[in-house]
Every structure is written in C-alpha cells, then in structure tokens.
Structure 1
Amino acid sequence: MRKKRVLLLSEGFGSGHTQAAYALAVGLKQLSPSIQTRVIELGKFLNPVLGPWIVSAYRKTVTKQPKLVGMMYRTNYNKSLNRFTQLALHRIFYTQTSQVISQLKPDLIVCTHPGPNAVVARLKRLGLDVPLYTLITDYDAHGTWTNPEVNKYLVSTPIVKRKLMERGIAAGRIEVTGIPVHPNFWHTFDKEDVQRQFNLKPMPTVMVMGGGWGLMEEDELVDHMTTWRDKVQLIFCVGSNEKAREQLLANPMYQHPNIRVLGFTREVNKLMDASDLLVTKPGGMTCTEGMSKGIPMLFYKPIPGQEEENCEYFVRSGFGELLQSKETIDKWFSLIGEPYASGQFRRTLLTKRNQQYNPTKCPSAVLQLMQ
C-alpha cells in the first residue's frame, strides 16, 4: 500500500510560517514514521530570484515602517483574497503550482501562509481533488486566511475558532489544535546539562530573541538589560543576522563574561530550558515555543497587526508582560534572582500550559483527520 503523502506549503515572510510547517512535518513523522512529508516555501521554490527579493522588501518594510504594515493589516482585516487577486497571484507568482502538486501527488495539502493557501484554493475550485488544510500560525484570524475551498482550519485557540465562525465558517470545519512546535520542544532537558553544554554559569539567565531582523539594534531598553550583567546572565540570539551579531560583540556594554551573543542555532529548545526569562518579539511561533517550555516572557515592541494580537493573548493568559519600560526589566530581573519565587512562577506556567496546550495535538489531529 502506498505511503500517505503530506505536502506543506509556506512562505518566508517571517520565520514562523515555515517553522510551523517543518514542526508539523517532523511531528507527523514522529507519530507515524511511515508518512511522507515535503515542506516547500512555494514562492522561493518557483521563483528563486523574485521570491527572495519580495521577502527582502517585506523585511525592510517591517523594520523601517511597522506602522504601514499595521495599517495594511487592519485595512484588509475582514477581507479574504478575491478571485481576481488569486488569479493575479497564480499568473505572476505561482504559475507552476499545479505541476508541483501533480508531480508530488500528495494525499493532503497543508498551507501555513495565506499566499499558497489562496492559490491552492483556486486550483481546487478549478478541479483539484486534494484536501486542503489551513494552519493559521498566529493568535488571530485575518481574512486573507479564509477560502470556501478549505476543508479544515487548524487554529491556535478557541478565540480564533470563534472569529472564524463569525466570518460564517462552520464549526465543523475548524479544529483547535494549537500551533505545532518541533518535537525538540516536546520534552524538558536537564538545566545543568544544558549549562555545561553551552558553558553557561549556574545563575539567573535571560534569553533575548528577535535580533534576526535587526529589530533590537541601538535600543535603550535592550542596553538597560546589560546593566544587570553582574547579577544576571544574558543570552542574545540574533539568528542568521551576522551584522547584528558583530555590532553587539563590538559594543563594550556587551563585552562581559555573563553575556553571550549567539548567531543561528538549532538548539533554542535547550537554551529555553537553561533560561529563567525570555525576552522576544511576539511572533506566533516563538511565543508558542516559549509556552511549551513554560518560560515567562517579556514581549518586545509588537509589530502592529498580528504581533499585537499574539501579545494580547499571552499577556491575558498570564504567560508574560509587555516590555514597556526599564522598570519592567528591573521587576522581572529581580524576580528571577529569587530562586523560590522564580521556580514557583514557572511551575504555575507549566500548569497553565498543560491546561491550554498539548504540543502533540496538531500532528495527532492531522493524522486522525487523514484516516
């Protein structure tokens, strides 16, 4: 009997969409080793020159004009992509999508970005007979995610399910699965072992993420964190942004034995287990990874739009606080310096996580729906 095949289509507008696709793919393989999965950033795959250029332009807009991004998000909030826009996307950007699907012969397509989602929906309208699942990778439901041809929506919370139902989508087409995280985040690693692996000191530790797009450069709040370097160990993760890493390393404020500046790493899951506090941009994926680890979070300058919605959800749920001032930093850095209070708070978050989130639920739900 032929092995089941799942095609996961994403785009590189922020790392979260593709991370969610890979997390689901690996989770499916973990639970059902016989299944075959393929993750494709469709625009980059079909247009290796134009695709990365568009992503780069988007990145510059996010970093230089975040209010414009927020205005566009709000203006189109209740609008799905109309048929003319879907046709334009297909003709200009996704011309060969049907050929890719014909060659790979998937039993199921999961889209983690609205672009491929709209194009596959159009192909289904024209006769494609493959189930389409839409995995919404934020804690909000923007209209561009929605299409009548979607067979099932996989969403983060009951709140997102309600928002989709308010758009007229039947409850039976929506399943609350949570956003998938890589199986590396399903388990807790021993804190002392991780400290030894990364040459970290056994002291209160803060992990700072979000520098990959240069969003934390020359910021007084980030600089204020370094004034705690004698009492708190700081791990700055800047991803593949080598320029940001070099700038931090050249800054005298960051040249201290208790400050580590890391580039790209595949072991964020372990570093979260070694840390007592996470400072991050409130992207849907990073926040979900933090929740899966039960680590308290400070949310840094949400980009207007979906990051604001993500931030609001996690603050309201008690997993963190919006980073608004130096006083916020001082309060939390003082808290993690008190072992009993810090440990008690983290145990509370783990209890909340167990009530609200199961990292295996999304891949398990997809497998069940495929039967």
Structure 2
Amino acid sequence: MLKKRILLLSEGFGAGHTQAAYALSSSLRKLSPHIQTKVLELGSFLNPKMAPLIVSAYRKTVTSQPRLMGYVYRHQKSFNRLTTLALHRIFYTHTQNIVKQLKPDIIVCTHFIPSAVVSRLKRLDPAFKVPLITVITDYDAHATWISPEVDRYLVSAPEVKAKLRRRSVAAARIQVTGMPVHPSFWEHPGKEGILQHFSLQDMPTVMVMGGGWGMMNDEVVNEALAGWREKVQIVFCLGTNEKLLRQMQEDPRYSHPNISLIGFTREIDKLMEISDLLVTKPGGMTCSEGLAKGIPMLFHHPLPGQEEENCRYFTAAGLGEPIASLDVIDKWMERLLYSYDDVQARRKSHLKEIARFHPLQSAQSIIDMLEQSW
C-alpha cells in the first residue's frame, strides 16, 4: 500500500507555529504507518538567505515596538490584494513547484502566511485540487487566517470556533480539536527520574519560560522570583537567548543551589512535569503545553495582539493569571509553600477536565479528512 503524503507548512515567526507542525507530524505517524509527513518552514526553505533576515527584523520589531505590532494586529482585517501578491512573488513563487514535486494528498498549514499562499494557488489554478487544512495556533481567530479556499479549520477551543462563525466561516468547515501539542506533554512519567536527570530537588518548583526566543527578560520579575530561592526551586528556561543566559550566569542573584539556568532544550515536557507553577509569555503553544500538563500559569507582559487574546482566554477559564503586580508572584509563592496540597489537588482535577482534548485529536481529524478523499 502506497503511503499517503501530508505536507505541513509553517513559518519561523516565533517557535510555536513550527512546534505545532512537528507535533502533528509525530501524531500522524503514530496513528498510521501508512502516512508520510514533511514539515517545511516555507520561507526558509525557498529563501534561506532572505528568510532569517526577515525573521530577525520581525523579532526586533516585536521586542522594541510592541504597540506597533498590536496596532497592526487589531487593524489588519485581512491580507489585501497587494500584500498577498507581494508574498506570492517574493517568498513563494516556487510553492506550486514544491507541491508538484512532493505530490501531497493533503496540505496542512500552521501559520497564516503559507495558508494564504496556498489559498491563492488554489484560487488561481482550477487544477489545484489538494485539500487545505489550516490549524489556528492561538486562542483567537484573526482575519488573516481566513480564506474561502481553506477546506477545514482545526481550532483550539469552542470560543475560537465562535469567532470564525462571526466572520462567516461555515460551521461545517470548523472542528474543535484542541491545540496539537506533542503527545509527550500528555504523558505523566514519575518525577524521580526527571529530578535526577536535571539535578533538581523534590520541592515546590517554579518554571520560567520566555518562549522559543527567550524573551523572558524582565529583570524586575526575575529578581522577584529569585527572592524566594531559599524556599522555592526556580528553573529559568531561556531558549535561544544565549546573551541573557550568560548575563544571568554571571549575576550573583541567580547563583544558588535552588536556581537552575537552562538554555535551549527539547525536554520542556519533562521540566513542566516536575513544576508546580509556570511563569511564561502567553504564546499559544506554550500555554497549550502547560494546559496539557495541568500546570497553573502566570503570564508575563503579553505582547499586544495574539498574546493578549491568549492571556484573556486562559485567565477567563481560570487556568492562569497575568502578573499585574509583584503581589501576584508573592501570592503564588505563598500558595506553593503553605497550600501545596491544594495546588496539587487542583492540578489533578484540571487534568481530568481537559481529558476530552485527546492528544491525537487534531491528527485524527486530518486522517479522517484524508480517508474521505481516498
């Protein structure tokens, strides 16, 4: 039996979109031996010299001018004709050739730019019949995700489906599947081996994340957390931010047996498993990974746009809380120290509540659609 081919397209604007693509790839292959997957960050693949420069410029804009990014997010209703044409010509003129070469049976996009490009290809070429699935990787449904050529939207929550419906997307084209986090985040191995692996203590533990780009660089928040180092274990995960990692390694405030400084790692699932509280930027994937682990979250300075919407969603659902002041940190540290059993009980209860979001649900929906086209 010939293997069915699934092409997963993402972009490098933040780590979450590509993480979602690889999580889907892993889940799809786990569900069926008759599926072959290929993950591409389309811009990087087609323009390996230009793409890193554009991603770097985007990263600098996000960090230095967040209000500008928020304004663009709120006021960009959709890709206008000129923007779509520019993306098509500058980045993706060879996309059609890639599709012809790889011959996928389904295309899955975890970022709105490749989704827009594939949609345009379908619109311009009547012979382009490959089904298109778009996976929305935040807890919001911005208009740039939406195109008539998308055959199916996979979304994280009923609230996101409702937002798509308000934008006139037919209910039959939307499925609520939960976020496609890697299956390992739904596993709950014993803590002892993980603690030993990372040389950590069995004590109340706070995990601090800044996303794949390591943007958790608020010295006030970090120092406030470090002030509890005598009683609480703190694990700072700094991603690819090597500069911040070196700065903190040289700072005596973070030189303590109960403080661990970790750079890029592929074992975030293990660190979340042994942590009792997650302090993070509210990126869609990181929050979803925390959701799968049942860990309570504190949100650090959400960027205007998607992160603000993610923060609102998780706060309203009682799954997290923004750090409105340092009092929030103190409140949670005291909970870990003096109400630890209650925190653990709430986590167990939460894990039961989210069991409906099966770790392979997104992948299964793709397979179901694939089978319909056989």
Range class of TM-score, shorter chain? over 0.9
| Residue of structure 1 equivalent to 2:84 | 86
The Cα shift of 1:366 comes to 1.0
Match of 2:325 in 1: 325
Residue in structure 1 matching 2:112, options 114, 139, 146: 114
Residue equivalent to 1:352: 353
Q: What corresponds to 2:370 in structure 1?
A: 370
C-alpha contact (below 8 Å) 1:211/1:217 kept by paired residues: no
Q: TM-score, normalised by structure 1?
A: 0.97
Structure 2 equivalent of residue 8 of structure 1:
8
Q: Is the 8 A contact 2:153 2:174 kept in 1?
A: yes
Give the 3-state SS of the residue equivalent to 2:169 in structure 1: coil
**Alignment-mate amino acid for residue 311 of structure 1:** C
Q: Partners of 1:217 and 1:176 in 2: how far apart?
A: 34
Partner of 1:343: 344
Query: What's 1:37 paired with?
Result: 37
Identity %: 58
Query: 1:230: Cα distance to partner?
Result: 0.3
Aligned to 2:279: 279
Residues 108-140 of structure 1, C-alpha deviations (whole Å, 9 max, x = no match): 000111111111001111221100000000000
- Written as runs of structure 1 = structure 2, the 5 A alignment for 1:52-91 is 52-76=52-76, 79-91=77-89
TM-score by length of 2: 0.96
Query: What are the residue-to-residue correspondences of 1:113-192 with 2, within 5 Å?
Result: 113-127=111-125, 128-192=128-192
Query: Which residue is equivalent to 1:104?
Result: 102
Structure 1 residue 240: Cα displacement:
1.7
Matched AA of 2:71 = M
Q: Which range moved further: 183-192 or 302-311?
A: 183-192
Distance 2:341 2:185 in 1: 25
Shift of 1:83: 3.5
Q: For residue 212 of structure 1, report the CA deviation from its aligned partner.
A: 4.9
Give the aligned partner of residue 95 of structure 1.
93
- Segments of structure 2 that go 5 or more residues without pairing to the other structure are none
| Cα offset, 1:173, TM superposition | 0.6
RMSD: 1.2
How far the C-alpha of 1:34 sits from its partner, in A, is 2.3
Cα offsets for 1:314-367 (capped at 9, x unmatched)? 111111111121110111111122331221121232133225x22221111111
SS of equivalent to 2:227: helix
For 2:224, the aligned partner's letter is H
Alignment check: 8 A CA contact 2:134 2:150 kept = yes
Q: Give 5+ residue unaligned stretches, structure 1.
A: none
**Counterpart position of 2:46:** 46
Structure 1 segments of 4 or more deviating over 3 A? 211-214
Distance 2:28 2:304 in 1: 33
- Distance between the aligned counterparts of 2:11 and 2:335, measured in 1? 39
**Residue 228 of structure 2: aligned partner:** 228
For residues 134 and 16 of structure 1, what CA distance do their matches in structure 2 show?
15
- Give distance in 2, aligned partners of 1:329 and 1:189: 28
> How many residues are treated as equivalent by the alignment?
368
